Each structure stands twice: as C-alpha cells, then as structure tokens.
Chain A
Amino acid sequence: MDNTIEKSIAKLPDAAEVKEEILAKYPAKVARKRAKQIIVNKVNEGEQVQEIMANTRTIPGILSMRGCAYAGCKGVVLGPTRDILQITHGPIGCGFYSWLTRRNQTRTKSDKHPNYMPYAMSTDLQEDEIIFGGEKKLKKAIDEAVALFHPKAIGIFSTCPVGLIGDDVHSVAREMEEKYPDVNIFGFSCEGYKGVSQSAGHHVANNKVFTDVVGQLEEEKEGKFKLNILGEYNIGGDAFEIERIIDKCGFTLHSTFSGNSEYDEFASAHTVDLNVVMCHRSINYLAEMMEKKYGIPWFKVNFVGAEATAKSLRKMAAYFGDKELIAQTEKVIASELVEVEKIRLEVKERCEGKLAMLFVGGSRAHHYQELFTEIGMQTVSAGYEFAHRDDYEGRKVIPNIVVDADTRNIEELSVEADPQRYRERKTEKEMKELEKSGMRFNDYEGMMSEMKDNTLVIDDLNHYEAEVLIEKYKPAVFCAGIKEKYVIQKSGVPLKQLHSYDYSGPYAGFKGAVNFYREIDRLVNTKVFSLVKAPWDNSPELAGNYAWNN
C-alpha cells in the first residue's frame, strides 16, 4: 500500500470548523438546536464523554432520515415474526410501504408451517370510516383473517388517523379475543405521530409484547445454557448466521426477538436463563422488564465484527460458567477465525487508512465501526437516526435524561417481580463474582467512548449536513439507508446501505464479517467511480484536425 494512511489522516479537517460551517447556513433557531446535536468527540481517559442532544423533535422542513412510530413498531420489532398475523388499521399506505421492504428473512420448519410475512393486511380505511369510526370494520377484518388464516395470534397496528378518530384498538382486541379464545389478539397504539421517530414505536412494541405475549406459554425448550437474543431482526440472514454459531458452541437459543422467530418462542421466552441484547435501542425495554418480572439477567452483546462476535460468545459462555461450554466456545472461535483472518488481512491491505462514515439506526452506526476497524478503516463521523442519549453516552446517563412531552406520551410500564415465576438465575454472590470479572449487566457503553478524538458525532443527520461532510472529508464509503443511497453516490462516493444491506448479507457473525470485508473492499476499491470523466472532459482542447488538412 502507498502512504494513504498518513495522507488521509494528515488531511482530516478540523471537526469544530466543519461544525461551524454546517451551522452557518441555518436559520438561528435551527442552528441553536443542531449545535447541541453535532458534537466534536473528546475522549479523555476516565472522563465522561460530552452530552449530545438526541431523541428530540425532528425539525420541520429539514430533510431528515427518520421514520415514524408505526415503522418502529410494525416494521422493525414485530415485522420479522412470521406467525403473528399483522393487520394495519388505517388507510392503505402504511400497510403497503411496510410490506416486505425490510428484508427480514425467515425459515419455517416446513411448508405446512405458517408464514404470514409475505402478506400485507390492512383495513384500508375509507372516508366513511374516518368519519363514523373504523372499529366495526376492524372487527370484521379480524373475522375474515381468522377464517382465512387461523392464526395463533393477531397484532393490530394503529396508523395516524386511528388515534384521532378515537378508535380503541385495545378494546376491539379484547372483544375479538373473547370471540376467538384460541387466538391471542393485541393492539398497538403506534400512531405515526407518537414520539419523535421510530424509537417511540419500539417502546410501544416492547410494552405490548411484554404484557400480552411473553409468559403466555409455559414450555421450556430442551437443552442446556438457554438464552434469548433480543434486538436481532434477521436482515439479510444475520440471525441465521448467529444461530449457526451459537448452536455450534453449545448454547440453546430459545428465541430471537424477532428475527426468524415464532409466536410460541416469544410466549415461552421467560423460561430462559439469560437475555443478550443486540440492538440496544429497539429492545432494551423488554430486557429490563423481563429481568424485573422473571429475574432474567441481561447484558449487551454485539455480533457485528469478528472480534466483537468472539468477545460476545466468550461473555455468554463465562456467564454460564460451564467448563465444557467455555472450551467448546473457544474451539469454535479459533476454528472460525482461521478463514476470517485470511480474508481480513487480504482486504485490510487494500482498505487500510480509508475513511468511513455511518449514519443509521440506533445501534448499527456503532456496531459496524467494529468491522471497519478490523480492516484498518477509520470512522471519522457517525450518528444515529433515532437513538437516545444512552446509545451515545452510555446507560449511566439515563437518570439524567430529561423526559420531555413527546416521550411522556409513550407509556412506561411499572413492572414487579412475578410472585410465581420470578426465579433468581444466579445468586447474589455469583453475580458479584461475574461483575468482578468484568461482566457488565444492564449496561451499554454507547458509541462515543469508542470513537476517536476530533470525530464528529451527529444525531439525526440531515441531507444538507451529509453533503458538507462528503465535501469536507471525501470518505471512501458512507453508510446510511435507501433514501440517502443515490444522493451520496451521485457525488461519487459509494454508499453502503446498513438497513437493507443492499440486498446482500449476512454481515453478522464470522461468515458475515467475511462478507462485509469483501463488500467494503468492492465498494472502496471499485473503478466505476473513476469512469465519471469522459476522455473529452480530461482534455477538452480541440487540438485535432482532419488528416487531409495537413
């Protein structure tokens, strides 16, 4: 490799100056707000990272990446489940747009097992129902759904107008459940205007899954070392790869919330001995509540990145503390890393020193930095679309987060230990010992402490800011979503979609890491962007002449 590393690092612009330049274009009110959401990262040993403003209202008229509570609830959390029949209550659009677009893969045990994911169901509310109420139609729709599909469970998802016209999806759910006692029917108040982003919908989804699904079935899975993975949605087959590894190590995966999952696994998820959390933002509520009610400890894991995967597996094995399990886990890690290392070193040679930016999700912008680091690339700017301060600064700031009106509108359940089913998984002493060995329960460090000095951490990045970043840093790759994809690529910078993975994957686990290394290698070393200039652009002078004139 040439001296790209030194070159690129030497050329890094001053983050504070970039921030000032961004803010200069805004009206005063916008600039004031954005100033608190754009942070020049400072990491000093032992010091708390800076405060960032997050999970606050999107500014009207500013081209944001964010979606709504419905998308967070129906699209993100419940969408990946194949046998909960999902009915969108509202006009047709919301049901249509959330129809298969998130690439949650699922694999039924056989062709006979239910899979409702390729079906988009909606009450398709019309003007009359908007005026006179849509509950009657919703009930009828449930009748028809039960008759056609005979599901175990039905989820009803509210769209914006539902809240305004006063339809009570919860009372409809109760009434219909009485009519169909074999079907678990529950409603979600996930109207799009709730909260400030998808995040509100995650919380709404967590609450309902907790109160109406988890704990409905007393059925333990066979096997040792039982756990749930929370916050893994099997986009591009990530959950398949994680399942493969976990199985090989000897853990028993009871359920994944909610990639490649089934209702019964959710309903009996309270029987496990550990919850591990992948996407902290979308599912930490459920982990918290399950701990309080059933006594299941949880900790954060990350299966994005080979090192991170190995670290997470070790942590899980250490939790169970079984010698054989620990040995087997080490064996799996060692054997898997052989191939990973080979590809990693090969790719690293071509990617080292190049710059990356990540603006996506509530965890991915953090997790994926691991993979870039593994191939020697540097993340110079990152941020989340819909995260909260704790995802940036770590969970220790939670007590200091001011609860504003938009958050207050989302129900916070008060949870107590279940008198029958609460069970201590580890004695207090055991927990203390695990903590002493470095295991952190109920914790997440957040993104900022792991990012370098002078990097820019930006919450709810918008289009204009992305343009400035591209111009100032000229990154080798920019990670975001479909709406940003072609905007960024038109400027000659490849964009990697980290929601849909550009229809490839998996990127989690060991095989996923290899896929991602190769994908980034393809993107940052492609020749296609160098073809932009035609020969006549490179030498526009009209020097030629017809031969016969000479």
Chain B
Amino acid sequence: MLLRHTPKKLEEREALTINPAKTCQPVGAMYAALGIHKCLPHSHGSQGCCSYHRSALTRHYKEPVMATTSSFTEGASVFGGQANLLEGINNIFTVYDPDVVAVHTTCLSEVIGDDLNQIIRKAQEEGKIPKGKRVIHTNTPSFKGSHVTGFANMTQSMVTYFSENTGSRQKQINLIPGFVEPSDMAELKRIMSEMGVKSVMFPDTSGVLNGPMTGKFKMFPNGGATVDQIKSAGDSFFTLALGRTASLPAAKSLDTKCKVPCEILDLPIGLRATDIFVDNLRKTAGVNVPDSIKFERGQLLDVITDMHQYFYGKKAALVGDPDQLSSLAEFLTDLDMKVTVVVTGTPAGPKFERRVHEASGEKTTVKYGLGSDMFLFHQLVKNDKPDLIFGNTYAKYIARDEDIPLIRTGFPIYDRIGHQYFPMVGYKGALRLLERVLSAVMDRQDRDAPEERFELVM
C-alpha cells in the first residue's frame, strides 16, 4: 500500500496538514500573469519559490513557463528586497524585453513588509522601466488563502493597474474565466464568438500554455490578453465572472473602479452551469442562441440519456478547487450520480458549502479550508467507498490503494495530458468529461465482470 499509514478512523487534527488539497498563492498568481500578452511573471522572494512554481506549472502543462525572481539572500531578508527588485527590473527589461512585468509577493517579502507600490514607483523614477512598458504587482501572502486566491488577486490587479473607464462605453462584455485551463479559455472564447458576443477575456492563457511545436522557441507566445484589451474592460457594459473564488475580486474591482456592473456565475462545467452561462451571454449581449450551440447542447443531452444506466446511482468523491467542485457536483448529480464527499483545502467559506449542498443534496460531506486535506479525503473515501474519485494527480495514490477509478480533474495533473488541449467547460467540455467518466466506469465493468457476463455491446 502506498498510503499504508492512513487509518480509516477519523480523528480531529488541529495543526498538522497531511497531503494538502491546495497550494500557495504565488503559483496561481504566476499562472494568471501568463495570461497577459508578452508578460513576464516575477516572484518577489527567495528563488526557490519561483523554481517550485515554474516546475509545478511546467509539469502540469508540458510547456515552457518563463518567470523571474528577486533571488533574496539572507541580507535581503533582513534589509528588505527593494534593491533586488530594482536590479531585477533593470535586468528583465534589458535581457528579455517583455511588455509587462507582473510581480507577486511571497511569504518572505510579505513578512518583511516590502511595499511594492513604493518600489515600483522608485523603479519608474529611476528610469528602470522603459517607456511604454509596465510593471504591476499583487500581494500573494502564502499564509492566507490558496493558489486560487493568488489567481484571483493577480486577476484583480490587472483591473487595478490597467482597466480604465474612458467615458465611452464599448459594445463588449468582459469575461473573467476563472482558474481554468488554456483549453477552457479557448472554448469560452469560441462559445462567445459562436454567439456573436464581442468580449474581452482576461487572463487568457490559451496559446501561451498549450502552444505548438514550430522548431522555434518564443519567449512570449502569441496568446494572452493585451494590455489594451484589459484597459478597455473598463469601458465594457457588463462583466460576467466565472467562479466566485477565482473571479469575484476582479469583477468587483471593475464595478467599483470603472462602474462596470457584474454577475458572478458558476464555472460552466456541466449542462446546467453551461445553460446559465449561455443564457446570461444571450441576455447581457442581446443575442440569440445560435443553432450551432443548441446542437452541441442536444448532443450532450443525447449522451446523457443514452448512457444514463451507467451513471445512475454511482457514488463519487471529489477533491479539488471550490469553483470546479460546486459545478462538478451539480453536473454529476444531474446524471443521477451521488456526490458523497467534496473536499477542498481552499478556505472557500460557508457559501461554497451551501452551493454544494444545493447542487448535490444535504447528505454530501463538504470539507473546506484548514485541515481539509487529502489525508482527510482519503479517510472519507475509505469510509464511504465511492465508485469514482475526481481529483488531481496526487489522488492516484488513493485510487490505487483503494482500487477506485480516478477521473483526473483540477490542479496539478502531472501524469496525463489532455487538460491543456481539451476543455471541460461548455457543452463540448461536458461531453468530453462524460466520455472520460463512462470509459472509467466501463473499463472497470470490463475488468471485473465474470467471463459469462462480459459484455460486447455497452
């Protein structure tokens, strides 16, 4: 057994987190910053943070992840990191020439109390930031929230630094996609364009973290939301923000700073969440839902009805990030599966718990925040014996020990490809998710069926 020391019996833990169901803020901030065109994320702290985050994102995407660091030493930790960041900014623009440097803090620089506003001002005054180039920042203390919070904070900073209300409203809506994959971001754009909705979406990592092999490395790929686009978000007439945890702060900032009203929606994972997304797009943009989208919806529903017997009554345990989890819980429940366990290490709050209960019923065990880790999840799985586990790569240790199929969802996925290229959002994304769920269920049936009951047609 890989996790041979995990007992079935649950005991209260107050201080020891074992096998976390979250990671720290900066990695989310780094990911979000990669969704700005020609942006170099910069980690203000020891170089180990940057190295870890780049490694994590690289393993997840199998793509170059470029980011720099202030490389604190003991001296910087005592006297503050200003000198390191100023030198760093100068070197970055000289050697790499990005349009934007997006700085996020770390627990170290937060504890020291470095004032990023002041350091960036100083860099400006000292002429270290070339004309037309921008340095932005966000605070991402690792001792608060999770990687999702870091993503939310960096996305909010894009608004704080770039978005402007110039006084002339533009016929476009803003879409804040949430902490989703490049493939999802591309799919969201496709849906909007299919519906004829003009939009600004940020961050946008499509084309950045799922780029092609061309024989030539491009430090700054073609993808990403441009500064001008994010700027114009202040002139949009509406904002749709997907996922409360990841997208609410940016949407709120657009409202208060630029007076762009917003609606917070669930991540469009599954039929109903996608329905609501599409319907909101229709209403806010004043367009009709085109036949092509209706067709996709119909196909999804068709598979659900055709294959219903394989979903019905199957128990699922979910671990991951809150915005994904609540939508996923709803979708699986719609398939007549039973979502019995939902765990996230992100402090998602009682609203999250209510949302999951609303989606999958009061019986679902929901754990979030401190102490809600994969060790606890494993214990709940041992007690509940679900038919399927939904979670990131680390869940494979549980899946193997308990002999339960794993559907890989969330971050990080180190051991499979697909998430970069095939979306989970929208009707098409839901269809792919269904395919994966069905394959897992059917493979298991094929493996376990007695010879006389081995089915050819399923």
Residue of B nearest to A137 (CB): B15
Stretch at the interface among A55-63, A326-334, A432-440: A55-63
The A-contacting residues of B in range 105-123, CB under 8 angstroms, are 106-108, 111-112
Query: How far is the CB of B414 from the nearest CB of chain A, in Å?
Result: 8
B91 touches A59 (CB 8 A): yes
| Contacts A/B (CB < 8 Å), 12 sampled | A71-B48, A91-B142, A94-B48, A96-B23, A96-B24, A99-B394, A129-B143, A192-B48, A193-B72, A482-B55, A482-B59, A489-B213
B20 touches A120 (CB 8 A): yes
**Interface bits B211-225 vs A (CB < 8 Å: 1, else 0):** 101111110000000
Q: How far is the CA of A532 from the CA of B73 in the complex (A)?
A: 43
B87 touches A487 (CB 8 A): no
The B-contacting residues of A in range 183-201, CB under 8 angstroms, are 191-197
Find chain A residues with CB under 8 A from B146 CB.
Answer: 92
Find chain A residues with CB under 8 A from B217 CB.
Answer: 467, 487-488, 490-491
B23 touches A141 (CB 8 A): no
In the A-B complex, the 3 residue pairs with the smallest Cβ-Cβ separation, listed nearest first, are: A68-B48, A93-B24, A61-B88
Query: How far is the CB of A93 from the nearest CB of chain B, in Å?
Result: 3
The A-contacting residues of B in range 341-387, CB under 8 angstroms, are 345, 370, 375
Query: How far is the CB of A531 from the nearest CB of chain B, in Å?
Result: 9
**Interface bits A478-501 vs B (CB < 8 Å: 1, else 0):** 000111011111111000000000
Stretch at the interface among A157-165, A272-280, A284-292, A395-403: A157-165
Q: Looking at the complex, which one of B14, B73, B213, B394 makes contact with A57 (CB distance below 8 Å)?
A: B73
Q: Looking at the complex, which one of A58, A196, A464 makes contact with B95 (CB distance below 8 Å)?
A: A464
B73 touches A165 (CB 8 A): no
Q: How far is the CA of A490 from the CA of B61 in the complex (A)?
A: 14
**Interface bits A18-31 vs B (CB < 8 Å: 1, else 0):** 00000001110110
B216 touches A68 (CB 8 A): no
Query: How far is the CB of B41 from the nearest CB of chain A, in Å?
Result: 11
B68 proximal to A (CB < 8 A):
yes
Q: How far is the CA of A160 from the CA of B370 in the complex (A)?
A: 21
Stretch at the interface among B74-82, B283-291, B310-318: B74-82
B27 proximal to A (CB < 8 A):
yes
Query: How far is the CB of B182 from the nearest CB of chain A, in Å?
Result: 14
A97 touches B23 (CB 8 A): yes
B397 touches A161 (CB 8 A): no
B326 proximal to A (CB < 8 A):
no
Q: How far is the CA of A62 from the CA of B69 in the complex (A)?
A: 7
Residue of A nearest to B2 (CB): A118
Q: How far is the CA of A118 from the CA of B91 in the complex (A)?
A: 40
Residue of A nearest to B92 (CB): A61
**Interface bits A113-128 vs B (CB < 8 Å: 1, else 0):** 0111011111111110
19 other contacts beyond A92-B146, A160-B72, A482-B58, with CB at 8 A cut-off?
A57-B73, A60-B88, A61-B88, A62-B68, A87-B16, A91-B24, A91-B143, A93-B25, A98-B52, A120-B19, A122-B17, A148-B11, A161-B143, A164-B111, A165-B111, A405-B75, A409-B74, A483-B65, A489-B213
A483 touches B142 (CB 8 A): no
A194 touches B74 (CB 8 A): yes
Q: How far is the CA of A201 from the CA of B73 in the complex (A)?
A: 13
Find chain B residues with CB under 8 A from A160 CB.
Answer: 45-46, 72, 77, 106-108, 111
Q: How far is the CA of A463 from the CA of B26 in the complex (A)?
A: 21
A64 proximal to B (CB < 8 A):
yes
A133 proximal to B (CB < 8 A):
no
Find chain B residues with CB under 8 A from A144 CB.
Answer: 13-16
B90 touches A27 (CB 8 A): yes
The B-contacting residues of A in range 460-514, CB under 8 angstroms, are 463-464, 467, 481-483, 485-492
Q: How far is the CA of A87 from the CA of B66 in the complex (A)?
A: 30
Find chain A residues with CB under 8 A from B196 CB.
Answer: none
A65 proximal to B (CB < 8 A):
yes
A67 touches B17 (CB 8 A): no
Q: Looking at the complex, which one of A145, A161, A490 makes contact with B16 (CB distance below 8 Å)?
A: A145
A107 proximal to B (CB < 8 A):
no
B405 proximal to A (CB < 8 A):
no
The A-contacting residues of B in range 1-47, CB under 8 angstroms, are 1-5, 7, 11, 13-20, 22-27, 42, 45-47
Q: Answer whether A114 and B14 are a contact pair too, CB < 8 Å, given A193-B74, A193-B77.
A: no
B24 touches A193 (CB 8 A): no
Query: How far is the CB of A215 from the nearest CB of chain B, in Å?
Result: 28
Find chain B residues with CB under 8 A from A69 CB.
Answer: 48
Find chain B residues with CB under 8 A from A441 CB.
Answer: none
A120 touches B73 (CB 8 A): no
Q: How far is the CA of A115 from the CA of B91 in the complex (A)?
A: 45
Find chain B residues with CB under 8 A from A63 CB.
Answer: 66-68, 96
Q: How far is the CA of A485 from the CA of B84 in the complex (A)?
A: 27
Q: Looking at the complex, which one of A29, A71, A125, A406 makes contact with B52 (CB distance below 8 Å)?
A: A71
A70 proximal to B (CB < 8 A):
yes
B216 touches A491 (CB 8 A): yes
Q: How far is the CA of A29 from the CA of B128 in the complex (A)?
A: 14
B48 touches A161 (CB 8 A): no
B429 proximal to A (CB < 8 A):
no
Q: Answer whether A126 and B370 are a contact pair too, CB < 8 Å, given A160-B108, A490-B217.
A: yes
Q: How far is the CA of A192 from the CA of B48 in the complex (A)?
A: 6
Find chain A residues with CB under 8 A from B62 CB.
Answer: 486
B42 touches A61 (CB 8 A): yes
Query: How far is the CB of A161 from the nearest CB of chain B, in Å?
Result: 5
A138 proximal to B (CB < 8 A):
yes
B48 touches A67 (CB 8 A): yes
A111 proximal to B (CB < 8 A):
yes
A43 proximal to B (CB < 8 A):
no
B213 touches A490 (CB 8 A): yes
A389 proximal to B (CB < 8 A):
no
Find chain B residues with CB under 8 A from A94 CB.
Answer: 48, 52
Q: How far is the CA of A200 from the CA of B70 in the complex (A)?
A: 18
Q: How far is the CA of A145 from the CA of B144 in the complex (A)?
A: 23
Find chain A residues with CB under 8 A from B216 CB.
Answer: 490-492
B233 proximal to A (CB < 8 A):
no
A140 touches B20 (CB 8 A): no
Q: How far is the CA of A139 from the CA of B16 in the complex (A)?
A: 10
Find chain B residues with CB under 8 A from A101 CB.
Answer: 55, 59
**Interface bits B261-277 vs A (CB < 8 Å: 1, else 0):** 00000000000000000
A90 proximal to B (CB < 8 A):
yes
B51 proximal to A (CB < 8 A):
yes
Residue of B nearest to A97 (CB): B52
A60 touches B52 (CB 8 A): no
A202 proximal to B (CB < 8 A):
no
A337 proximal to B (CB < 8 A):
no
Find chain A residues with CB under 8 A from B65 CB.
Answer: 483
B46 touches A192 (CB 8 A): yes
A66 proximal to B (CB < 8 A):
yes
B389 proximal to A (CB < 8 A):
no
Find chain B residues with CB under 8 A from A121 CB.
Answer: 16-18
A124 touches B23 (CB 8 A): no
Q: Looking at the complex, which one of A91, A138, A193 makes contact with B15 (CB distance below 8 Å)?
A: A138
Q: Answer whether A125 and B47 are a contact pair too, CB < 8 Å, given A93-B26, A99-B394.
A: no
Find chain B residues with CB under 8 A from A127 CB.
Answer: 141, 143-144
B215 touches A532 (CB 8 A): yes
B240 proximal to A (CB < 8 A):
no
B172 proximal to A (CB < 8 A):
no
Query: How far is the CB of B311 from the nearest CB of chain A, in Å?
Result: 31
Query: How far is the CB of B164 from the nearest CB of chain A, in Å?
Result: 28
A193 touches B76 (CB 8 A): yes
Q: Answer whether A26 and B94 are a contact pair too, CB < 8 Å, given A144-B16, A482-B59.
A: yes
Q: Looking at the complex, which one of B108, B144, B394 makes contact with A192 (CB distance below 8 Å)?
A: B108
Q: How far is the CA of A122 from the CA of B19 in the complex (A)?
A: 8
Q: Answer whether A90 and B107 are a contact pair too, CB < 8 Å, given A122-B20, A137-B15, A140-B14.
A: yes
B108 touches A193 (CB 8 A): yes
Query: How far is the CB of A108 from the nearest CB of chain B, in Å?
Result: 9
Q: How far is the CA of A90 from the CA of B107 in the complex (A)?
A: 9
Query: How far is the CB of A549 from the nearest CB of chain B, in Å?
Result: 34
A192 touches B143 (CB 8 A): no
Q: How far is the CA of A127 from the CA of B141 in the complex (A)?
A: 9
